[in-house]
Structure 1
Amino acid sequence: MNNFEQLGLNELLLSAINDLGFENPSEIQQKAIPLLLEKNTDIVALAQTGTGKTAAFGFPLIQKVDLSKKHTQALILSPTRELCLQIANEIKQYSKYVKGLHTVAIYGGASITEQAKEIKRGAHIIVATPGRMQDMINRNMVNIKHIEYCVLDEADEMLNMGFYEDITSILSDTPEEKSTWLFSATMPAEVARIAREFMHSPEEITVGHKNQASENVSHEFFLVSARDRYPALKRLADANPDIFSVVFCRTKRDTQAIAEKLIEDGYNAAALHGDLSQAQRDAVMKSFRGKQIQMLVATDVAARGIDVDDITHVINYQLPDEIETYTHRSGRTGRAGKSGVSMVIITKSELRKISQIERIIKTKFEEKPIPSGIEICEIQLYHLANRIKDIEINPEIETYLPAITELLQDFDKEEIIKKVISVEFNRFLDYYKKASNSLTSVSNGKGGNKDIPSDGAVRFFVNIGSKEGLDWMSLKDYLRDTLDLGRDDLFKVDVKEGFSFFNTNAEYAEKVMSILNGESYNGRRINVEISNNEGGRNFNRRDHNGRKGRNGDFKSDRRSDRGERRNKSFDSGRNERTAKNERGSRRTTRESSPRRSRRS
Structure 2
Amino acid sequence: MSTFKELGLNEQLLQAITDMGFETPSEVQEKTIPILLSKETDLVSLAQTGTGKTAAFGFPMLQKIDAQSRTTQGLILSPTRELCLQITNEMNSYGKYIKGLNIVAVYGGASITEQAKQIKKGAQVIVATPGRMKDMIGRRMIDISKIEYCVLDEADEMLNMGFYEDITEILSHSPEDKSTWLFSATMPKEVSTIAKKFMHTPVEITVGSKNVSTEAVSHEYYLVNTRDRYAALKRLCDANPDIFSVIFCRTKRDTQKVAEQLITDGYNAAALHGDLSQNQRDLVMKSFRNRQIQMLVATDVAARGIDVDDITHVINYQLPDEIETYTHRSGRTGRAGKSGVSMVIVSKSEVRKISAIEKIIQKKFEKKDIPGGMEICEVQLFHLANSIKNTKINHEIDMYLPNINEVLIDFSKEELIKKVFSVEFTRFYNYYKNAKDLNAPGGSGRDHDDSDSKDSTRYFINIGGKDDFDWMTLKDFLRDLLGLEKDDVYKVDVKDSFSFFNTDTKHEEMVLGIFNDFKLDGRNISVEVSKDRGGRGRSGGGRGRSDRSRSTRGDSKRGSFKSEGGSKGGFKKRGSESGGDRPKFSGKSRRKNEKPQNTGTGGRRRRKG
**TM-score computed with the length of structure 1 as normaliser:** 0.79
Shift, 1:540, TM fit: 12
Letter in 1 for 2:441: V
1:460-482: CA deviations, max 9, x gaps?
779xx9xxxxx979x99xxx99x
Letter in 2 for 1:451: D
Does the Cα contact within 8 Å between 2:72 and 2:147 map onto a contact in 1?
yes
Letter in 2 for 1:392: K
Indicate which of 509, 532, 539 corresponds to 1:538. Answer: 532
Partner of 2:67: 67
Does the Cα contact within 8 Å between 1:249 and 1:299 map onto a contact in 2?
yes
Correspondences of 1:175-574 after superposition (within 5 Å) = 175-436=175-436, 438-443=437-442, 451-453=447-449, 486=473, 505=492, 535-538=529-532, 559=556
Partner of 1:144: 144
Does the Cα contact within 8 Å between 1:156 and 1:190 map onto a contact in 2?
yes
Shift, 1:493, TM fit: 13
Correspondences of 1:132-171 after superposition (within 5 Å) = 132-171=132-171
1:226-284: CA deviations, max 9, x gaps?
11111111111111111111111111111111111111111111111122222222221
Give the Cα separation in 1 of the matches to 2:493 and 2:353. 14
Give the Cα separation in 1 of the matches to 2:461 and 2:401. 68
Give the Cα separation in 2 of the matches to 1:246 and 1:540. 38
Gap change, CA 1:381 and 1:539, over 3 Å in 2: closer
Secondary structure of 1:397 counterpart: helix
Shift, 1:103, TM fit: 0.6
Gap change, CA 1:231 and 1:17, over 3 Å in 2: same
User: Which has more radius of gyration?
Assistant: 1
1:31 aligns with 2:31: yes
Partner of 1:583: none
More helix by share: 1
Does the Cα contact within 8 Å between 1:492 and 1:536 map onto a contact in 2?
no
Secondary structure of 2:177 counterpart: coil
Partner of 1:3: 3
Does the Cα contact within 8 Å between 1:455 and 1:506 map onto a contact in 2?
no
1:409-466: CA deviations, max 9, x gaps?
3333222212211333333211111322x214231599xxx9334999xx9779xx9x
Give the Cα separation in 1 of the matches to 2:489 and 2:334. 43
> May I ask how many residue pairs the two structures share in their alignment?
516
Letter in 1 for 2:313: H
Gap change, CA 1:539 and 1:444, over 3 Å in 2: closer
Q: Which moved more, 1:198-207 or 1:137-146?
A: 137-146
Gap change, CA 1:489 and 1:249, over 3 Å in 2: closer
Letter in 2 for 1:303: A
Secondary structure of 1:305 counterpart: coil
Give the Cα separation in 1 of the matches to 2:481 and 2:322. 33
Letter in 2 for 1:315: I
Partner of 2:115: 115
Correspondences of 1:570-585 after superposition (within 5 Å) = none
Give the Cα separation in 2 of the matches to 1:32 and 1:328. 21
Give the Cα separation in 2 of the matches to 1:414 and 1:197. 73
Gap change, CA 1:489 and 1:182, over 3 Å in 2: same
Does the Cα contact within 8 Å between 1:235 and 1:371 map onto a contact in 2?
yes
Letter in 2 for 1:442: P
Give the Cα separation in 2 of the matches to 1:158 and 1:43. 17
Shift, 1:120, TM fit: 1.2
Does the Cα contact within 8 Å between 2:42 and 2:181 map onto a contact in 1?
yes
Shift, 1:111, TM fit: 1.4
Give the Cα separation in 1 of the matches to 2:478 and 2:18. 63
Does the Cα contact within 8 Å between 1:374 and 1:432 map onto a contact in 2?
yes
Secondary structure of 2:14 counterpart: helix
Partner of 2:97: 97
Gap change, CA 1:454 and 1:295, over 3 Å in 2: farther
1:500-550: CA deviations, max 9, x gaps?
x9766389xxx999xxx9xx99xx9xxxxxxxx994353899xxxxxxxxx
Shift, 1:84, TM fit: 0.6
Partner of 1:549: none
Q: Which moved more, 1:239-248 or 1:398-407?
A: 398-407
Secondary structure of 1:342 counterpart: strand
Shift, 1:556, TM fit: 6.7
Partner of 2:576: none
Letter in 1 for 2:448: I
Does the Cα contact within 8 Å between 1:36 and 1:60 map onto a contact in 2?
yes
Partner of 2:41: 41
* Structure 2 residue ranges without an equivalent (≥5): 483-487, 495-500, 515-526, 536-548, 563-609
Does the Cα contact within 8 Å between 1:74 and 1:126 map onto a contact in 2?
yes
Letter in 1 for 2:276: L
Secondary structure of 2:150 counterpart: strand
Secondary structure of 2:530 counterpart: coil
Secondary structure of 1:150 counterpart: strand
1:80 aligns with 2:80: yes
Gap change, CA 1:397 and 1:486, over 3 Å in 2: same
Gap change, CA 1:325 and 1:559, over 3 Å in 2: same
* Structure 1 residue ranges without an equivalent (≥5): 466-470, 496-500, 525-532, 542-551, 568-600
Letter in 2 for 1:397: I
Does the Cα contact within 8 Å between 1:3 and 1:23 map onto a contact in 2?
yes
Gap change, CA 1:118 and 1:484, over 3 Å in 2: farther
**TM-score computed with the length of structure 2 as normaliser:** 0.77
Gap change, CA 1:472 and 1:194, over 3 Å in 2: closer
Does the Cα contact within 8 Å between 1:47 and 1:206 map onto a contact in 2?
yes
Secondary structure of 2:218 counterpart: strand
Q: Which moved more, 1:275-284 or 1:316-325?
A: 275-284
Higher relative contact order (CA 8 A, sep 6+): 2
Letter in 1 for 2:438: L
Gap change, CA 1:247 and 1:488, over 3 Å in 2: closer
Gap change, CA 1:264 and 1:120, over 3 Å in 2: same
Gap change, CA 1:105 and 1:351, over 3 Å in 2: same
Shift, 1:113, TM fit: 1.5
Gap change, CA 1:394 and 1:169, over 3 Å in 2: same
Gap change, CA 1:484 and 1:537, over 3 Å in 2: closer
Shift, 1:406, TM fit: 2.2
Give the Cα separation in 1 of the matches to 2:416 and 2:554. 66
Give the Cα separation in 2 of the matches to 1:440 and 1:311. 26
Gap change, CA 1:72 and 1:455, over 3 Å in 2: farther
Does the Cα contact within 8 Å between 1:84 and 1:107 map onto a contact in 2?
yes
Shift, 1:407, TM fit: 2.5
Gap change, CA 1:454 and 1:69, over 3 Å in 2: farther
Gap change, CA 1:444 and 1:149, over 3 Å in 2: closer
Secondary structure of 2:232 counterpart: helix
